[in-house]
Amino acid sequence: MTMTQEERNEYVSYRLKSAFTTFDAAKVLAENGFWNSAVNRLYYAVFYAVNALLVNNGIYSSSHSGIRSQFSMHFIKSGKLDLKYGKLLSELYDWRQKGDYDNIFDYDRLSVEPLFEVVEEMIKAIQVMIDK
């Protein structure tokens, strides 16, 4: 995938904005007790932020697993971002899969509410890296 610098900046800005609006959507879902849907939105909030960070650095991947592995290789294993963010991305991916595709599985307030603080922290940490 080749993008001009202007296209890349526009894409990164759009993805980062999507991360924050998707995070806000997760809050609304949680406030109304839709825990599986909140987990889905939390995963996508982080996914969009990670995608923005990768593209900002000229790293492209077309799959969820590719994005997770590129993020891990370039930002977690290198120490640029805290290990907990790599674990969070993987955990949210697994949780989203389980919540979206397992027939009889429901998350609850106790399991989902603690995720909000660390997800918001991760998105903001990525925004700081992008803004540098």
pLDDT at residue 2 tops 90 = no
Give the mean model confidence (pLDDT) for residues 43-67.
96
What pLDDT shows up at residue 22? Answer: 98
CB 15 within 8 A of CB 112: no
Phi, psi of 60 (to 5 degrees): -120, 140
pLDDT at residue 27 tops 90 = yes
Structural domain boundaries in the chain: 5-131
Give the mean model confidence (pLDDT) for residues 11-20.
98
Using CA atoms in the order 10, 51, 108, 34, what is the torsion angle rounded to 10 degrees?
30
Q: 95-105: per-residue pLDDT in tens?
A: 998 888 877 78
pLDDT at residue 78 tops 80 = yes
Class in CATH terms, 5-131: mainly alpha
**Predicted TM-score of the model (pTM):** 0.94
What pLDDT shows up at residue 75? Answer: 97
